Amino acid sequence: MEEGVLRVENLSKWFTIRRGLLAPPLTLRAVDNVSFELRRGEAVSLVGESGSGKTTLGKTVLRLYEPTSGRILFKGRDVTNLKGKELLWYKRETGLVQQDPYGAMPSFMTISRILEEPLIIHKIGTAEERKEAVFKALEDVRLTPVEDFAFKYPHMLSGGQLQRVAIARALILGPSFVVADEPVSMLDASVRIEILTLMRELQEKRGISFIYITHDLSTTRYFSEWIFIMYAGHLVEKAPTKELIREPQHPYTQALLAAIPDPDPENRKRYREVPPGEPPSLINPPPGCRFHPRCPYVMDVCRSEEPPVVEVKPGHYVKCWLYAKK
């Protein structure tokens, strides 16, 4: 078995929301007691409802947010509390493709400058070599002819083009672990598959480990070994990709898969069945199972006690009372 690159133990990230001088601050539990492991060269797709804490989990693992509790181990080292030079080492070893490419790019820099910046910060190459690296990176993400894009400013690019710049930037330092936060959400199917194929090749060639955050379950089966499903700050299901798509176990995962359309002109004539209600508040999460107010199979125990994580098959974990031996 390949060595584990990343090991996350009971990681939590809670935000404090201040509401002026008089009101007591609130605690928002964006990531709550999450554990998983990732091996070298493997990709895991992190899927879940909007606002369930996917971005927060990714950023906390990369030490862009301070963890509230828990441990992060990277290549055998505890990186939970690294500081200064050592933290810089961790940053160089890791990369982030930011979710919102519009917000992630400094508007006063040209695309080529944006890509060159990390190389300059880490003092890599001569000006000539850096330019070459930047052009190569643009070519890799199919922003061609390169000259049409290199000297543009971010607002002159379409959403999908900016996303590709974000990918190029995250990979330019040659990291060994990357969190790609919805890196292709604005791309059409063809370019999406092309870019994901490219990321997959780089991943295999350079042995990069990926956390691929996405809403697009239909591509996960081709580009990741594992799928983790997140709901309201918890990982509610973890399984090998194909198995999860074939046999989803958690009621939330089942609803998620049922909501995905295939192209069909009949779709517009019918309403799609979805679980009732809203995703829960992370400030006052429902007691017991956080999905219980929307769950079609809810039982008494679900309303009061947090479900355990059950290994239903080797490597397939579900956090749900339906699978617990009573």
Partner 1 sequence: MPEVILSVKDLCLYYATRRGVVKAVDKVSFDLRRGESLAIVGESGCGKTSLARAIIRLLPRNVHTFDGQLLLNGQDIMKLDDEEFRKEVRWRKISIVFQAAQNSLNPVLRVGFQIAEPLMIHNGMPREEALSEAKKYLRMVGVHESFAERYPFELSGGMKQRAVIAMALIMKPYVVILDEPTSALDVITQANIMNLLKSIKSETGISYIFITHDVALSSELADKVAVMYAGEIVELTESEEFYTSPKHPYAQKLMASVPTLRADKKLEFIPGTPPSLINPPPGCRFHPRCPYVMDVCRSEEPPVVEVKPGHYVKCWLYAKGG
Ligand X SMILES: Nc1ncnc2c1ncn2[C@@H]1O[C@H](COP(=O)(O)OP(=O)(O)OP(=O)(O)O)[C@@H](O)[C@H]1O
Least Å from the CB of residue 277 to ligand SF4 = 12
Alpha-carbon 190 to chain mean position: 21
Q: Does 46 bind ligand SF4 (CB under 6 A)?
A: no
Which span sits near ligand X by CB under 6 A: 68-76, 157-165, 251-259, 269-277? 157-165
User: Which residues inside 59-118 make contact with Mg ion, applying CB under 5 A?
Assistant: 99
* Buried/exposed code over 276-300 (b: 16+ C-beta within 10 A; e: otherwise): eeebbebeebeebbbbbbbbeebee
- Contact assessment for residue 14 and residue 27, using Cβ atoms and an 8 Å cutoff: yes
Candidate list 12, 45, 55, 249; residue touching Mg ion; CB under 5 A:
55
Binding-residue pattern over the window 46 to 65 for ligand X, x denoting contact by CB under 6 A: --x-xxxxxxx---------
Count other C-beta atoms under 10 Å from residue 114's C-beta. 20
Closest CB to ligand SF4 among residues 32, 181: 32
Q: Which two tokens stand for residue 160?
A: 């999908």
- Contact assessment for residue 235 and residue 319, using Cβ atoms and an 8 Å cutoff: yes
Is it true that the peptide bond before 145 is cis, omega within 30 degrees of 0? yes
Which span sits near ligand X by CB under 6 A: 3-11, 115-123, 153-161, 293-301? 153-161
Closest CB to ligand X among residues 15, 323: 15
Binding-residue pattern over the window 238 to 277 for ligand X, x denoting contact by CB under 6 A: ----------------------------------------
Candidate list 18, 85, 205, 272; residue touching partner 1; CB under 8 A:
272
Interacting residues with ligand SF4 (CB under 6 A): 250-251, 289, 291-292, 295, 297-299, 302, 307, 320-322
- Residues interacting with ligand X, by CB under 6 A? 15, 17, 28, 30, 48, 50-56, 99, 156-161, 186, 282
